[in-house]
Amino acid sequence: MFRRIYAALFEFVRWFVLSALVGAACGLIGTLFSVCISYAGRWRDDLPWLLYLLPLGGLLIVALYRGMRQPLMLGVDKLFLSIQEHSDVPPAMGPLIFLGTFITHLCGGSAGREGAALQLGGTLGNGIANLLRLDDDDRDTMTLIGMGALFSALFGTPLAAVLFVMEVLALGHLSYSTFVPCLISSMTAYGVSSLLGMKPEGYVLSGVPALSVGTVLTVSLLAILCAVLSVFFCKVMHFSGSFMKERVKNDYLRAFLGGAAIIALTLLVGTRDYNGAGAAVIERAVSGTARPQDFLLKLLFTAVTLSCGFKGGEIVPTFYVGAAFGCVIGPLLGLDPAFAAAVGLIAVFCGNTNCPIASVFLSIELFGTQALHLFVIACAISYMLSGNSSLYHAQILPDKDLKHVRMKIPKGEEHSRA
């Protein structure tokens, strides 16, 4: 008995130290990365001519990846595969995604930050594990908690970050043994970034309707539409990536053409709202203002940017598309546009990532608990109806068909709880 208690206490202390170490490192790097991306956006706004350097920026990104002998499409899926296959993460992934995302944002590509956050954090966790010569299982855990920690530092949503990295790899198979390390690492990263002046993401939720049968039905209808949009989003992103790679096989030419296409599209629409991450547009949508074409144009700009080799991520564009869509469609269903934008943001994120529990916690950390019941309903419907679509090729998806819903208890555990 005492030996078992001692072993459990030893493992807790060991993982507390390791998780805090990864969290502190991710908090520092995450803060530095966030500051750099903020400066990139500020310089892009102050110097509009930087947009015309986007094709050259694409060439530079390709040259960096070629120089480090890494494939241009190296990304989040590589992290997932490294954990699933117990393989190593290329040490060059971190600095390459840092520089590539900075260049993309500086010159006006349409991309988010979370792809960089997951890759930076995973590389850091994996690198620390290799430095300490941990075994394969521990290295996988360190990669996972690094991903969550840097996500937490960058967005200021530690609980959503924990549950996201626990859910996203293999849906329906939460590894509860990683919960404590992920939580310690994410909270440490969040604390470090807060001490360094980082403010968490958050919005004031307004226009919340009273909970009633009519409200539930209306929010459910919006969630159904968001599920359809999330499937469309994933299909467009995957199709554009494979299409561009097949049609333009030279990485340099593909990046140059993609940069030129973004310049042409920007001049055609007459606004810079679809360049960069689009945080200002998300805030406007959650305040109740969006143009009908915003969600489709942001999806187009993001698909062109990422399919041509520029770096960043899809989750912030997912927020943008979901919030703009909800803001436009909500009033047609009788919902306040600001509240509908918040529901759209969470529901499309849930449909794109297949992480319903993380999505619920994200709604709490972004919008509070005022409309928690309605957000839970929206997440449940969006998750179930989005099918097997996903932003990530390496994500292991269960069958969501209602015909196959059943409790699955591993063999030998049926009587172990008696």
The predicted-structure confidence for 318-352, as pLDDT tens digits, reads as follows: 999 999 999 999 999 999 999 999 999 999 999 99
* Cα 402 from chain centre: 27
pLDDT band at 76 (very low <50, low <70, confident <90, very high): confident
- Using a CB cutoff of 8 Å and minimum separation of 24, what contacts does 402-409 make? 408/172
Looking at residue 414, what is its pLDDT?
42
Q: Which of 85-89, 101-105, 154-158, 401-405 has the lowest mean pLDDT?
A: 401-405
Q: What is the dihedral of CA 92, 93, 98, 103, to 10 degrees?
A: 90
Question: Which residue would you say has higher pLDDT here, 102 or 167?
Answer: 102
Q: Taking all residues of the chain, what is their mean pLDDT, rounded to a whole number?
A: 89
Inter-axis angle of helices 372-385 and 213-247, to 10 degrees? 40
Which ranges of 334-371 does DSSP label H, i.e. alpha helix? 337-353, 356-367
Position 3 pLDDT exceeds 90: no
Inter-axis angle of helices 114-131 and 93-107, to 10 degrees? 160
Domain with CATH 1.10.3080.10 in the chain: 12-195, 213-402
Q: What is the pLDDT of residues 351-385, one digit of tens each?
A: 999 999 999 999 999 999 999 999 999 999 999 99
> Could you give the count of Cα atoms lying within 13 Å of 341 in the half-sphere of its Cβ?
30
**Topology of domain 12-195, CATH:** Clc chloride channel (1.10.3080)
Position 391 pLDDT exceeds 90: no
Interatomic CA distance for residues 156 and 371, integer angstroms: 20
Q: Which of 12-16, 52-56, 333-337 has the lowest mean pLDDT?
A: 12-16
Looking at residue 413, what is its pLDDT?
44
Looking at the chain, the whole-number percentage of residues with pLDDT higher than 90 is 63
Torsion 238-242-248-249 (CA) sign:
positive
Interatomic CA distance for residues 104 and 62, integer angstroms: 12
Side chain identity at 160, as an amino acid letter? A
Two tokens, residue 410: 């591993």
Looking at residue 171, what is its pLDDT?
60
Q: What is the pLDDT of residues 194-207, one digit of tens each?
A: 999 888 888 989 88
Looking at residue 397, what is its pLDDT?
66
pLDDT band at 396 (very low <50, low <70, confident <90, very high): low
Looking at residue 297, what is its pLDDT?
96
Q: What is the pLDDT of residues 195-245, one digit of tens each?
A: 998 888 889 898 899 999 999 999 999 999 999 999 999 999 999 988 998
Q: What global pTM score does this model have?
A: 0.90
Q: Tell me the CATH number of domain 213-402, given options 3.30.365.10, 1.10.287.70, 3.30.450.40, 1.10.3080.10.
A: 1.10.3080.10
**Residues contacting residue 250 through CB under 8 Å, at least 6 positions apart:** none
Interatomic CA distance for residues 387 and 337, integer angstroms: 27
Two tokens, residue 117: 């956050």
Interatomic CA distance for residues 248 and 188, integer angstroms: 44
Question: Which residue would you say has higher pLDDT here, 409 or 39?
Answer: 39
- The secondary structure element, H or E, covering residue 212 is none
Q: What is the pLDDT of residues 284-306, one digit of tens each?
A: 999 999 999 999 999 999 999 99
- The secondary structure element, H or E, covering residue 146 is helix 136-155
Counting every residue, how long is the chain?
418
Position 418 pLDDT exceeds 80: no
Q: What is the mean pLDDT of residues 62-90?
A: 83
